[in-house]
Chain A
Amino acid sequence: MDPYKVLGVTPQTSDDDVKRAYRELARKYHPDNYVNNPLADLAEARMKEINEAYDMIMNERNAAKNGGSSQSQQGQQYYQQRQSGTGIYAQIRSAITSGNLAIAEELLGRCPTRDAEWYFLMGTVYFRKGWYDEAQRCYTQACTLDPNNFEYRNALNNLNMGANYGGYRPMNSANACDCCGQLLCLNCLLNCCCGGGGC
């Protein structure tokens, strides 16, 4: 692996610019952009490669500068999904986590009761499949049945505002709607608190 090629820089690039290139790439491939995405593993591999390349360059340069090794920063911040529930729901959760959507869907079909958690899990299966309208319906139903559950509300918020991750805002350039802007900001705040704060 040529670390310079990975970051798209040259050995002549200044430290600041290497850092900038690294940040840019890390923002692009951050696991937050690939939550519930079937390509999450590929993004993670890319992220690892970028981190390693950055470490390699920085370590090399620091060693050249002061003859010693130094620690470098890592941008990784993994999204922790809260695991809860018992019995069949726990089984469904682990099926979803391992990407086995067909099994999760079958187990959900077998559940006799359709409570808030059922709708939440069904919504997550739809989310994974990219069936966003169905996911939205299920999450909304879960929030209606259990309005105080933070996990469900967070999932619904993530779904509704997902297109703001990674700075990709396709529909906003010509659609200068103040209300949307405010909602975006609010959601970013919410996500910062919840993603980083470990709620």
Chain B
Amino acid sequence: MFGFIRPFKPELRVKEVDRFQAVYCGLCHELKRRYGRLQTYFLSYDMTFFALVIGAVQPSDPGTERCRCDASPFRKKQVACTSSTLSYAADVSVLLTYHKVQDSVQDETGYKRFAARLLRRLMRKAYAKAQAALPALDNTMRACLDDLTALEQAKTPSLDRPADTFARLLSAAVPADYPSDVQRILSQMFYHTGRWIYLLDACADVKDDFASGSYNPIVLRYELQSPEIDSVKQPLERTLERSLLDIHTAYQLLPLYRDQGLIENIIDLGLPLVTRQVLDGTYHANGGHETHGSL
């Protein structure tokens, strides 16, 4: 995924910063434990958010422990203990990473394609394990991505059609063993999270895609003649805001056991901020600093 989902730090409380960090580290440790070190390099804030939300609707939480890791070998950090939600999120993360690499193998050219091929080879074992753990989800992901490829090849001039494929993919990642109401709410929440991620990513890529001639739904939908999105900023903002609203209204119905403040911060402040930054062209990946796991 892309790392667009992050909290708005100035409004977070200290314990919420610690909690986010602990879940991030917990997911990282889980990935390393189950799938090896390589997978931890593909951990994103998006998956942390996913783990946080699917964990918050579970009645029990195993708490945290103090651990060292590669990024912090000397000082022990608070790390969320392993749980069924963390290992589930780790499985989903591996599947998503693999399919993203697979996508790069298809789309990229030259050395990037070579790198993606190599990566895919290195990930094969982890992928097989995650696929065995979640076969139905893997099939759905594959089907959604095939739909997306078909839409890309047909140069579909629509925002919603391609966005729907990624939205369905993400909404399928909701655990199947949750109560049906909770599942419905989470599906709606992650459908629109997926739609938002896809469209925002398309906004961020307009310049690159315009130069390379790659498929970009925004360029085609608005028939852009130059790689600037200023002229269509308002309708884009509106349609993205609609998805944010749907995430918010779905979230309100979710029966939460913990982390309310943190999740609300991400949904109500973090996502709108990133939206604005991407549309204004002031967005920087990882908040400007490339530091591992720090907010």
Residues of A within 8 A of B (CB): 28-29, 33-34, 37-39, 42-43, 46, 126, 129-134, 136, 159-160, 162-163, 165-166, 168, 170-171, 173-175
Contact = CB atoms under 8 A, between A and B. Distances in A.
A179 to B, nearest CB: 10
A164 to B, nearest CB: 9
User: Ordered nearest first, which 10 A-B pairs have the shortest CB separation?
Assistant: A131-B160, A170-B272, A133-B159, A132-B242, A163-B241, A134-B160, A163-B245, A133-B239, A132-B239, A170-B244
B246 interface: yes
Given A132-B160, A134-B161, A170-B271, 4 more contacts: A126-B160, A131-B161, A133-B160, A170-B275
A185 to B, nearest CB: 17
Given A39-B253, A162-B245, A170-B272, A130 B191 contact: yes
Given A160-B238, A163-B242, A39 B185 contact: yes
11 contacts: A38-B184, A39-B249, A42-B253, A46-B253, A130-B191, A130-B195, A132-B160, A134-B161, A136-B235, A171-B237, A171-B244
Contacts of B268: 168, 170
Contacts of B188: 37-39
A34 B249 contact: yes
Given A39-B188, A160-B238, A171-B276, A28 B252 contact: yes
A171 B275 contact: yes
Interface string B250-272: 10110000000000000010011
A37 B235 contact: no
Given A42-B181, A136-B239, A163 B244 contact: yes
Nearest to B217: A133
A159 B243 CA distance: 11
B83 to A, nearest CB: 26
B9 to A, nearest CB: 15
Contacts of B207: none
Contacts of A159: 242
Contacts, number: 87
Contacts of A37: 188, 246, 249
A171 B242 contact: no
A175 B252 contact: no
Contacts of A43: 249, 252-253
Contacts of B160: 126, 131-134
Contact of A133 (B185, B235, B273): B235
A163 to B, nearest CB: 4
Nearest to A131: B160
A183 to B, nearest CB: 11
A162 B249 CA distance: 12
Contacts of A38: 184, 188
Interface in B185-243: 185, 188, 191-192, 195, 221, 235, 237-239, 241-243
Contacts of B164: 129, 131
B100 interface: no
Contact of A173 (B239, B248, B272): B272
B47 interface: no
Contacts of B184: 38-39, 42
A165 B252 CA distance: 14
Contacts of B159: 133-134
Interface string B150-168: 0000000011110010010
B221 A133 contact: yes
B276 A175 contact: yes
A132 B252 CA distance: 21
Q: Which of the listed residues B241, B246, B275 has the most CB atoms from chain A within 10 Å of its own CB?
A: B241
Nearest to A172: B272
Contacts of B191: 130
A28 B249 CA distance: 8
Contacts of A162: 242, 245
A100 B81 CA distance: 43
B185 A42 contact: yes
A74 B245 CA distance: 26
